[in-house]
A and B are shown apart, each in its own frame.
Chain A
């Protein structure tokens, strides 16, 4: 009975806003949403369509300025409530999306993306140029993007798939998984979580993978040229292929692969460091036959 009443009340207060506005090339989209969701889907029109579901107390303000189209909710009484946005935007459009208790999803964009939320997830497919995705309580996933990538969360993991360009990724408690990466500059850091990397090791590139509590697992391409520095305090090193250790101190040692052109820093305080052949990233430890060190 109470559930029915609640549903009826919700239906009575539900309202939809649906509006479309033409935009010229170069304008960016800025969406602020305190609570709810922001879904942006790229399309091939030079127009932005904003569909929003919200309480009848609230209204959605879509404002076109010379260089920015802003979308935000306001209320006739007090702060606005939960708003769920579904927005179609041109694929070229740069996106600035922000919220507090807001899930953010971007699909198919080819522009720059900045997304920040506190208690929400961020999922982004696509993006070119500067891509910055930040959450506190939610997981962050980026797929098929190209540019300078900065990912940050606190309490969840980070997943990057098919990403190219300079990459920085940090979390406190969560795993960081990077697969299908093409980059010459990767900096990955978690405090409590595993780090997994499968991607290019480019000549003269710099790669740093670091965790305090967790394993670091890397798939090293066959023809990689890298000077590798391995550091662990309470952990082991394990490689699927032979390496010749060149310098050893109490907690650190190094070795060279090929010409040693790239620099590779692998660090874990309480965990193992594992090197795997390409495509063998998820093979269990006992399945590989060559072990070293």
Chain B
């Protein structure tokens, strides 16, 4: 698979010669694995085109800065040549995970900001004081939360398919996601019976945040392994 996947980014960029392109298409018609990778790469390109220009989140920046440093060091010793934007498949997969993380994080920040009305209400430990039931329910039912969770889960699954997370770690993450999901179900059920409870609203929101945090952590590990 490696020989073909290495050429997939050139294929996506339209940089293969006609004969190479035909060869690649013949291979793709018979290789499910390569077709999956191709689909992911096209997804990355499409996603990158639609993303807003947002600043990097704090936890990503140190890694990005380190990579820039490594790249600069390599560039200093490498002979100069014509600049062409080209990435290996693992790099593109890592980029796709990073894009998903950025996108999901942006949704998370937007939702959290809308509910709390900004950071002024946050405590020193980074949490909001207990809000009223209305804002919490609005938060807990915000469709963008589900979208962010779906994106992070997709990133996790991509990491799993590509062997970027080992099976023991995946089992543990899934086990703990199941624990959180059970807690969310119980909290939702309790809230349905008592929608005015500030505690239940707060607890549900906090448990949902835990799920987001765990998924972000797991996908970040996937990126680091790449």
**A213 CB to nearest chain B CB (Å):** 7
Q: Which residues of B contact A269 (CB under 8 A)?
A: 183, 186-187, 190, 203
Which residues of A246-269 have CB atoms within 8 Å of chain B's CB atoms?
Answer: 249-252, 265, 267, 269
Stretch binding the partner chain, chosen from B35-43, B137-145, B193-201: B193-201
- B176: interface (CB < 8 Å): yes
- B82: interface (CB < 8 Å): no
Residues A251 and B199 in contact in the complex (CB < 8 Å), given A155-B172, A189-B206: yes
Partner of A191, one of B127, B200, B207: B207
Stretch binding the partner chain, chosen from B7-15, B102-110, B118-126, B150-158: B118-126
Residues A136 and B173 in contact in the complex (CB < 8 Å), given A166-B125, A172-B210: yes
Whether the pair B183, A212 counts as a contact (CB closer than 8 A) is yes
Number of B residues contacting the other chain (C-beta, 8 Å)?
Answer: 35
Partner of B125, one of A172, A185, A267: A185
Main secondary structure of the interface of B (DSSP, over half): helix
How many Å lie between the Cα of A206 and that of B130 in the bound state? 13
B186's nearest neighbour on chain A, judged by CB, is A269
Whether the pair A154, B183 counts as a contact (CB closer than 8 A) is no
Q: Which residues of B contact A154 (CB under 8 A)?
A: 172-173, 176, 214, 217
Whether the pair B183, A213 counts as a contact (CB closer than 8 A) is yes
- B221: interface (CB < 8 Å): yes
- B27: interface (CB < 8 Å): no
Q: Which residues of A contact B194 (CB under 8 A)?
A: 250-251
Whether the pair B172, A136 counts as a contact (CB closer than 8 A) is yes
**B51 CB to nearest chain A CB (Å):** 27
- B179: interface (CB < 8 Å): yes
Partner of A166, one of B124, B176, B180: B124
**B185 CB to nearest chain A CB (Å):** 11
12 new A-B pairs (CB below 8 Å) besides A170-B210, A191-B180? A119-B166, A136-B173, A137-B172, A172-B179, A172-B180, A186-B125, A192-B179, A206-B123, A206-B125, A208-B125, A233-B200, A269-B190
Selected A-B contacts with CB under 8 Å, 17 pairs: A100-B225, A118-B169, A119-B166, A136-B217, A136-B218, A172-B176, A172-B180, A185-B125, A187-B125, A187-B127, A191-B179, A192-B183, A208-B127, A210-B206, A212-B187, A231-B203, A249-B199
